[in-house]
Chain A
């Protein structure tokens, strides 16, 4: 099942030229860019692993693409996303976030329904391969 998180996730996967163009846009707005990866794409899992530090003083998208390539090499079967942070409010606000790498086989988000006190029901989701 295709995981949809962040921007562009209902579009076909972006190729490297398109990713570069998006990163150029981020840098043109003076946003910091970071690369993060995760093996557990559950929507409630907000803790993605950082691939190095966020990059604060880049001028060209090539720097991000180099890191992305390294991350893809090290974790080809993980989800990788790029994030852009804006610091104008005095703290880093996420302005953009999109998935740039997916495992060949994506897990299903499975919904589990259980009975609870009386006739009430509880719902839970888990990622299943």
Chain B
């Protein structure tokens, strides 16, 4: 590819045409359509895409040589779509030609850190080899670093990661994800990461209205619908659930809907007397959502905790 660009250096560049031709427009459109809310995230991704597109044009004209650093950190509460966006990011970087294969390898501490001396390096390298040419997504990256145990093998994994992030910038993009406050602590303790990560993207929590839309989209994907009562109950559910512990945004909604479907199936089984039509089989009603423990003040275990603490 280098030989080609050296012989024919373009004089001008049509960014709009490049934008359409590279397929970036398509990825961004998908991002807009498939993900509800996340406005600041989408804005950042759009900016990053623009930067990379311009950078590529500059390199084609011979204005800049160095490949930009593409490592990123995604911070936000659970269930805010970090993994989904990482997947889209991999597609985006692939279309822009910044990563050769465009696959996403999702790992956590367990996949990188070994259980005994000498186990960590081969394990981390194995994962890195798999991720070459694509995007390595490290979920809850701060677990790699355990300050209270100085013999923790996580440090070894961190060192290998840093080395690869520096030396193999053309081969691999690393995205680290996790809660905002703990990621901040992690970066403070490992300044090497902070300086090597160029893009920090924050994922905001969803608003209640967004979660309602997410719930409806999720149901629609499985050919279910809310009736009026069910919709009202779900709205109330979201408000109550948010106040309770272990709220995980869209993931909580997904779990709630799974349980609602379970209750709906049970209800149909117990109450139906005659043949059921498609509407009955695919409607989630108030009766399927109201029995949730969220309406009785949360999970028993959590309440027990509260009581012992009080």
Contact = CB atoms under 8 A, between A and B. Distances in A.
Q: Do A and B come from one complex?
A: yes
Contacts of A60: 100-101, 132-134, 171
A52 B126 CA distance: 10
B59 interface: no
Interface stretch (A40-48, A62-70, A118-126): A62-70
Interface string B35-73: 000000000000000000000000000000000000000
A63 B125 CA distance: 9
Contacts of A59: 101, 103, 130, 132-134
Interface of B: 100-101, 103, 122, 125, 128-130, 132-134, 168, 171-172
Chain A, interface residues (CB within 8 Å), range: 10 to 19
A15 interface: no
A66 B170 CA distance: 14
A58 interface: yes
Contacts of B134: 59-60
A128 B105 CA distance: 48
A58 B130 CA distance: 5
Highest count of chain B CB atoms <10 Å: which of A55, A66, A67: A66
Nearest to A70: B125
B3 to A, nearest CB: 11
Contacts of B122: 52
B133 to A, nearest CB: 3
A20 to B, nearest CB: 11
A74 B23 CA distance: 43
A51 B122 CA distance: 12
A19 to B, nearest CB: 15
A58 to B, nearest CB: 6
Contacts of A115: none
Interface in A49-85: 52, 55, 57-64, 66-67
A124 to B, nearest CB: 41
B132 A66 contact: yes
A61 B132 CA distance: 8
A63 B124 CA distance: 12
Nearest to A57: B130
14 contacts: A58-B129, A58-B132, A59-B103, A59-B132, A59-B134, A60-B100, A60-B133, A61-B133, A62-B129, A62-B132, A62-B172, A63-B128, A63-B129, A64-B129
